[in-house]
């Protein structure tokens, strides 16, 4: 069985009865989040890219749980400099986490760490998404991305049970493009993420789910703190 908890923004926790992983933990900077980093119990932290609204709480969560951090090699190296136990990987690669397998897929976005005091931006590798096999299910987390044609190929090659897609617009694809992405991924369930956290990415998630239904696709809105089991 797969347990899914949505922590708001792009942060999703996937777990079996014994172990779990969390993707892109961003809690302290999200007014909509209902948990704090110290509330999270997990075994692995997956990072799609290096923007602060995706990595802010990776360090405290990983240290408190002695959890491994999985990310593209450049970001993993940066995290290792903070004393974290990291696994660096790259596009198309798969890591075996014992209770789950995570394959890194493309995302079209940017990725860098802003060093405010130095007025410098540090390159942190390519942005990514993940296809995760866990609890007998296949979960796609698209990361931050625009629409791109190879989403159809990914959908054709993988039997996706759940897809987490950004719909916020401005920084990622908006609802219209996300609807096309949902058709191409063809997941059994599509859950919108990366919206409402900031004024620039306010969207009507319920309307998005209704539009999915009109296309014969099942969708679900999850509020921060909501959990489902599949």
Domain 3-221 sits in CATH 3.40.50.20: no
pTM beyond 0.95 = yes
How many other CB atoms are there within 10 angstroms of residue 72's CB atom?
A: 23
Q: How many residues does the chain have?
A: 230
Residue with tokens 């922590």: 7
User: What are the residue ranges spanned by the domains of the chain?
Assistant: 3-221
Task: Give the closest residue to 21 by CA, choosing from 8, 49, 2, 36.
Answer: 2
Q: Answer yes or no: are the C-beta atoms of 88 and 72 closer than 8 Å.
A: yes
In this predicted model, what pLDDT tens digit does every residue of 137-180 receive, in sequence order? 999 999 999 999 999 999 999 999 999 999 999 999 999 999 99
Residue with tokens 């993940």: 130
Question: In the structure encoding, which two tokens stand for residue 38, read together?
Answer: 């110290």
Distance, CA of 122 to CA of 96 (rounded, Å): 29
Q: How confident is the model at residue 38 (pLDDT cuts 50, 70, 90)?
A: very high
**Phi-psi map region of 109: left, alpha, beta (phi>0 left; psi -120 to 50 alpha):** beta
In this predicted model, what pLDDT tens digit does every residue of 93-132 receive, in sequence order? 999 999 999 999 999 999 999 999 999 999 999 999 999 9
């Amino acid at each position: 069985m797969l347990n899914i908890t949505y922590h708001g923004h792009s942060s999703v926790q996937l777990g079996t009865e014994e172990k779990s992983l969390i993707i892109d933990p961003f809690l302290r900077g999200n007014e909509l989040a209902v948990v704090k980093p110290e509330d999270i119990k997990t075994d692995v932290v997956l990072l799609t890219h290096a923007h602060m609204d995706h990595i802010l709480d990776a360090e405290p969560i990983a240290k408190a749980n002695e959890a491994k951090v999985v990310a593209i090699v450049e970001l993993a190296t940066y995290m290792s400099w903070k004393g974290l136990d990291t696994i660096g990987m790259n596009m198309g690669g798969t890591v075996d986490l014992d209770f789950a397998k995570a394959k890194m897929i493309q995302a079209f976005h940017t990725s860098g760490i802003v060093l405010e005091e130095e007025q410098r931006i540090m390159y942190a590798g390519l942005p990514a998404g993940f296809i995760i096999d866990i609890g007998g299910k296949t979960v796609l987390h698209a990361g931050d991305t625009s629409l791109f044609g190879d989403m159809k190929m990914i959908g054709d090659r993988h039997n996706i049970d759940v897809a987490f897609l950004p719909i916020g617009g401005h920084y990622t694809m908006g609802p219209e493009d996300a609807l096309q992405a949902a058709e191409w991924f063809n997941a059994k369930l599509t859950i919108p993420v990366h919206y409402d956290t900031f004024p620039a990415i306010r969207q009507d998630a319920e309307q998005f789910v209704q539009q999915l239904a009109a296309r014969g696709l099942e969708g679900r809105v999850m509020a921060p703190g909501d959990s489902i089991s599949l």
